[in-house]
Structure 1
């Protein structure tokens, strides 16, 4: 009974997503399906039908709550690509909005695969949900397999340093890891820099209760003005830069890789400055 009810709800949500996408994009969304086994999932657990159902409320948030605007989304090339973005806002809404943008606005639509922190699979129910909607643990092996399969991967090289920033640090990029650059060089993958404007203000962190976070096994425990894990209706602006191509050895010295990483970081920071200058307000 409950299984049948769940299937019915999932099909209704999937239909809602396709309705919001429109008839033309509905057909193209079907092309997002990858090779599936007899259980309807790819080797990482991604299921297109489940993903289209799960994204329905995110599409509503995208269009009506955060009222997302995209700039330069045509810069995202076909085939394998690394989208490298700033990370902020305490809640992973930035990744969700980028994912919806690639699915609803890009031509052709892309099902983006996001790298999640290694501690995420320890959360009950969350790990299975993330797998079904295409998110995977950000190990080099997983990324390499997806890139070789021609996938689009979203990377937040600031990691927890970025998403858990306190309010005084807003729109200040934190240190970038080097892993994404090693993968780009190893697989000859272009990098598209992405800047997110609006996420910093959705849940501004006034302080981080580190002792409590350590006790609970969390990487951070931010305190926001509302005290609730609900984002404010800030207006999002997503900027997609032109693809960057790098050459060199993936096993090069960290100092050499860091020079290339700084190029990506500078491109993102430039778009952040542009976005902050262009917007009229946090909420519109």
Structure 2
């Protein structure tokens, strides 16, 4: 047995193969879906995510069963930590649940696909460019999608602003209403402490074409992470003015704030 075959056999156990195999995904004859998702890549990534989730960040997740077993869903949470660690942990929590697991999609920032190799890998494990057209097509395909309406405003914020929700874009609400998608709020506590940044080096970020370059330690700290999922929220598709759309966005934001407060109260230690 070659080294590659050995590593694959260790990463993709029979139990894992069966678990991923029972999650229905409309893939083509070459093993990919229209956005690049690939079952085999997901199996290996799932094994690595399991170690990160259970051993490094020691995640405690509550309420993951609130996410509907089928149909279009937007999993909406607070974004933090400089890197998309929060998305990985939320995705693993749903994909690993024993009853009705789902492999969610994640909307990623535009600069990720420009990084050699990384963009293709992210596509293969379920991520896609955070474009409204992509999100709409996935909801029409009845996918579960992880969305962070704060965008880089959330992931790139400084440590002094931890757990302070930034402005939410309203795009997710328009899509939820149009496609009759459930919105499941999630409060993520712990990722703010993984890469605490004290400053953003804006001139360097601009020269590199990046949204931000944090001044932080070059390590990912093993903060203990709490995920709290709330009950699904539904909003009808009636034609309403922008002011009412914003009220609905603030309603979701308020629920996420409540779940963050719950996680902070439950947290006994940082690490």
Q: TM-score range by the shorter chain?
A: over 0.9
* Partner residue of 1:38 out of 29, 39, 48: 29
Q: 1:7 to 1:156 in 2, by over 3 A?
A: farther
- Which residue does 2:252 correspond to in 1? 264
CA distance in 1, matches of 2:190, 2:243: 32
Question: Secondary structure at 1:206's aligned position in 2?
Answer: strand
Alignment of 1:1-284 (within 5 A): 6=4, 9-15=7-13, 23=15, 27-79=18-70, 80-105=72-97, 107-224=99-216, 226=217, 228=218, 230-249=219-238, 252-283=240-271
Summarize deviations over 1:246-279 as a string: whole Å, max 9, x none.
Answer: 11446x4332211000000000001111111121
What is the rounded CA distance, in whole Å, between the counterparts of 2:191 and 2:122 in structure 1?
21
Task: List, as ranges, runs of 4+ consecutive aligned residues in structure 1 with deviation greater than 4 Å.
Answer: 4-8
Contact in 2 for aligned 1:33/1:48 (Cα 8 Å): no
Taking structure 1 as the reference length, the TM-score comes to 0.90
SS of 2:75's partner is: strand
Asked whether the 8 Å contact 1:83–1:155 carries over to 2, the reply is: yes
Change (3 A) 1:82 1:208: same
Deviates more, 1:62-71 or 1:240-249: 240-249
TM-score by length of 2: 0.94
* Alignment RMSD: 1.7
Partner SS, residue 12 of structure 2: helix
Matches of 1:100 and 1:145, distance apart in 2: 23
Gaps of 5+ in 1: none
